[in-house]
Amino acid sequence: MNVSILTALIRKESLQIIRDPSAILIALVMPLILLFIFGYGVNLDSNRLRVGLVIEDDNIAVSGLVNGFLGSRFFAIDMAKDKRVFIKPLLATKLRGIVIIPQNFSANLAKQNNAAIQVITDGSEPNIAAFVYNYSRGVIDLWLSQQYQQQSGMALKNIELQPRYWYNPELKSRNFLVPGSIAIVMTLIGTLLTALVIAREWERGTMEAMLATPVTNLEIILGKLVPYFILGMGSMLVCLLVAIYLFHVPFRGSFLALGVCSAAFLIASLGQGLLISSVTGDQFVASQAAIMSAFLPAFMLSGFIFEISAMPWLLQKLTYLFIARYFVTELQTIFLVGNIWPLLIRSTLAILFIGSIFFLITAKKTRKRLE
Amino acid sequence: MMAEMMLRAKRIFSLVIKEMLTLFRDPKGRFVLISPPLVQLFLFAYAATLDVKNVSMAIYNEDRGFHSQQIINRIIGSSTFSHITFINKESSIKPMIDEQKVMLVLHFPADFSRKIEARAQTRVALLLDGRRSNAAQIVNGYLADIINEYDLKLQSESGNTQGILNIIDRNWFNQNLLYMWYTIPALVAILSMLISLVITSLSVARERELGTFEQLLVSPLSPYEILIGKTIPAIIIGMFEGGIIWAAGYFYFQVPFTGSFWLMLFVLFAFILSTVGIGLFISAVSKTQQQAILGAFIFMIPAISLSGYASPVENMPVWLQYATEMNPMKHMLISVKGLFLKDMSFGLIWQNTWPLFIIALITLPIAGWTFSKRKE
């Protein structure tokens, strides 16, 4: 391998990146938009759920319960005496649910006669509906046990469930979304951008021209991949700084672990881009293939937002084929938990294994193309 | 006057025909119209779920007594948990969670049953993986229900009926909280937007790349006629594609459609009109088809993520909530969900449709202006 040829190639490729508006869009604009979206926009923590509270019971005894709802940090409460007021807002998605304290509620509770509170949720958004119910139950339970304790001096419940959320005690979805979005940014650069750029060379015939020169295949490939590798690692670093300093995501692992895992992912991702470009040889098809085989799976099948365990069986197994699945887990773990070596080593090996398959097929394909 | 109108209409009509032919004759064009929407329909429908099921959990039971076993049996009987591992030392808890072998560990203390028998207070520790805090919170709710129910049963058996309170949980519009009922209506919006954006953003960029845009400009067509001629095919195909997803949702995925058929067509039309202006604008500023596709892609990601689809709009910072008013997807999602599940009336639909017309009224002239500027 000739170092001066290699540096010349890398220089040429880097200049091309800088001068290409598509490259700037993918490598610079997209990552910033994604970080912005997952830092500010997408927030799974429903802290101010707007819920209508219907108080049909005028007894003073329920005021404690009403205050419980008003004071809860999970709710923004609208109050009324009649349920009908809230039906239209619920239809219009202005409210997420209605809690009804019915007439005679406190009397029934005192008489131990089937007291009931009704919680109506907007099922058209199932995740939020589940939270409306969960949080309402929390408020009601708390009020009930306090009430009971005051009256009888005894605890209402014998069994108390004490939940503890490890690694993310404030339950901020940002803490796992921002690290996960690094996987998407690196997929964009490693697979989409690389596939596009190299497909363009095949399309224009400049790739053949290059292969015909005395420059070896290895030098050509390295000359192509090294600039994108640097670009990818650079954007990872930017994401890391933004995550830690702007979004205050905890970082409990080591930079070394993050560097090694990211490098392995990026190499495999570049391999995928290279493979797509050499199979399609056409920019347009390459971009579609990269979006379908890398970007969408990184988004949907990686456990980044959507729990893999809730997917149908076949889809669950399919996720093992996509490198982003392993990388998202690694990123969330390095940021929030620390260097959990068994998990990191297992995932990195899987990524490298899939990556080496990409390179092997590419090598075969390219040789065939030239014959 | 009348004759001129006729001529104008005829010119636009021929442009529409030409646009449709270009789209369907080009294999790449056909590919974009057919395969990505199909793949995405199935991928989203099955994968995009915040449902909580098949949860893996571990139980560390130091108690040898009756009551912990009763609770464990109830957990095993619940459909939420599919893999339950029993561990027998405290030191295994951390690696189980750290390596994501389980989402949560339930820990019964050694004196659990004894304390219950003695009617004393006891506690169960639940350790959850904060990396998956959304699912973990919902699972926490399920377990709390199971344990509460058992506790109440014990109390009423011992004759204590005080403090018994039923919470009657009713999920309107989607009784069983099926996540697919949420995803499919959203997909009608997402995929029809995708198609109309791709068609319009490619339309001018393709002509420019092939050099035929100049020919179009020197033809008798005015820039606005070109604009209309490029808008109509996108609306037709976008509505057609939206209709297919709508039908697939109703017949194949069995999502109920409670609203009015004609209102849905009206809403779909307004929505696609509002995205066409954006697509044409992207097209007018792109030099190549490549840039146009990327431009559409870059618009789509925030338009979908910041629409209330991925997470509720009210969870966003207030300034961003105002910004989402400009996002056609945000308004469309409310209507399309409302028509599928809530039988929304025209009044409510209109509240979420007029902003779409406003967006179209702003974006279409801007796109037209970009065209005429390019002409000079």
Residue B169 has pLDDT above 70, yes or no: yes
pLDDT in tens, B12-63: 888 888 888 888 887 777 777 788 888 889 888 898 888 888 899 999 999 9
For A200, the token pair is 């363009």
pLDDT value, residue A354: 97
Cα-to-chain-centroid distance, residue B163 = 41
Q: pLDDT under 50 in chain A at which residues? A: none
CB contact under 8 Å between B166 and A25, yes or no, is no
Q: What CA–CA distance (Å, rounded) separates B284 from B202?
A: 9
Sheet holding B122-129, edge to edge: A159-166, B122-129, B104-108, B55-61, B81-87
- A128: nearest CA in chain B? B312
Q: In terms of DSSP bridges, do strands B55-61 and A75-80 run parallel, antiparallel, or are they unpaired?
A: unpaired
Residue B11, min C-alpha distance to chain A (Å):
31
Q: What is the ipTM of this complex?
A: 0.87
- What is the nearest CA distance from B19 to chain A, expressed in angstroms? 19
CA–CA gap between residue A96 and residue B127 (Å, rounded) = 29
- Show the CA angle centred on residue A216, arms to residues A211 and A217, nearest 5°: 65
Residue A371: the pLDDT is: 60
* pLDDT at position A344: 96
Shortest distance, CA B346 to any CA of chain A (angstroms):
11
Q: Measure the CA angle with vertex B205, ends B202 and B210; round to 5°.
A: 115
What is the predicted pLDDT for the residue at A212? 82
At A60 the pLDDT is: 84
Find which of A100, A165, A293, A321 to mutate to test the B interface (most B CBs within 10 Å of its CB): A165
> For the residues B149-155, what does the mean pLDDT come to?
86
Give residue B250's pLDDT band: very low, low, confident or very high (50, 70, 90): very high
Note the pLDDT tens digit of each residue in A61-97.
Answer: 889 999 999 999 899 999 999 999 999 999 998 999 9
Amino acid in position B287: K
B103-128 confidence digits (pLDDT tens): 999 999 999 999 988 888 899 999 99
Work out the average pLDDT over B246-264: 95
Q: How far apart are CA A251 and CA A243, in angstroms?
A: 9
Residues 136..195 of A with a Cβ closer than 8 Å to B: which? 136-137, 140-141, 144-145, 147-148, 152, 155-169, 171-173, 175-176
Question: Which residues from chain A sit within 8 angstroms of residue B42, using beta carbons?
Answer: none
Q: How confident is the model at residue B340 (pLDDT cuts 50, 70, 90)?
A: very high
Name the residue of chain B whose CA is nearest to A292's CA: B36
pLDDT of residue B375: 53
Please report the pLDDT score of residue B289 as a whole number.
80
Q: Are A163 and B126 a contacting pair, CB within 8 Å?
A: yes
Could you tell me which residue, B160 or A121, shows the higher pLDDT? A121
Q: Which of B90, B304, B315 to mutate to test the interface with A (most CBs of A within 10 A)?
A: B315
- pLDDT over threshold 70, residue B161: no
Tens of pLDDT along B310-319? 888 988 999 9
Rounded to whole angstroms, how far apart are CA atoms A47 and A16?
Answer: 47
Q: What is the pLDDT of residue B35?
A: 81
| Contact yes or no for B36/B199 (Cβ under 8 A) | no
